[in-house]
Structure 1
C-alpha cells in the first residue's frame, strides 16, 4: 500500500514538473524586438559628458581614454547602434550625405592626416550646419582629448571625406 502511494505521489510530482517546464518555456518565448527611434540630441548629451577624456591610441574606455573610433563606437554602443571599431571601417559604410542634409548624430569621416586615400579619423556632429557644423571627437592633436571642433577649420575641411547617418 505504501509503495502504491509512493508511486502515485512520485507520478504527480513528475507530471507537474513537466507541466511547469512547458509553462516556463512559453513565458520566456522570444519577444520581438521593438523598433525605437533614437533621440539624436540624447547622443550628443551623452557624448558631451566625456569632454576632456584623454586621447589614448586604441582606447575605448572612458576611465583610460579614447581614440577617435573608440569614442564613436563607445557612444553608439550605449544606444545599441553597431558601428565599426576602426576608422578604416567607415570608408565604405553608408551613403555620403549632402552638406545641407547633415544632422546632429551623423558621423563625419575624414582622410588620414598624411594620406588622402586612407580613412583616419571620425567624429559625431553635435551642431549641424552643413560644412560649418561642429563635431565631437577624440583628438590626438593639440587638444589631446575628447573635444568639439569646427568642420570648416582648415585642418578638418581639407581632410573631410564624407558624412553618414548610422542611425537608419
Structure 2
C-alpha cells in the first residue's frame, strides 16, 4: 500500500520539482500513531527555503485532490531532508564524495556493521571511507550492495 502511494506521489511531484529546478530526495508514506503522513523531501545545490516547500506543497496538494490516489486521511509535509540527508540512490552517494557520511551495513565488515567518516571515493560498486579507529585513520572499502542505509553526517 505505502509503496504504491509513494510511487504515485513520486510521479506527480517529479515534474513540479524539476520545473522549479529542485531535486526530489525522497517520498515517505507512514502511519504514526493513528495518523498517516505523506512526507516529501526536496533539496537543491543552494538549499531550499520555506517558500520552495510551500509552493511544492500547494501544487502537489492540488494534484492529489484532483487524482485522489490515497483513500485514507493523511497529513502532507514538504521539507528539506536537513543536514543529515539520506543518500538513497547511487547518484546521491556519488555527490557525497569528499563529505562525511554514516553508513549501516547488512552484514559486518571487519567486525563492524556501521561506519562514519569521509567518503573518499565511490565508483558505483564500492565506497571507500576514511574512518577513525582509535588514534589512527584507516580506509575501509565497502561494497555498495552491502549498504543498508547511508546519510550525510555532521561532524562537531
TM over 0.5: no
| Greater percentage in strand | 2
Larger relative contact order (CA 8 Å, sep ≥ 6)? 1
| Greater percentage in helix | 1
Q: Tell me the TM-score normalized by structure 1.
A: 0.29
Q: Tell me the TM-score normalized by structure 2.
A: 0.30
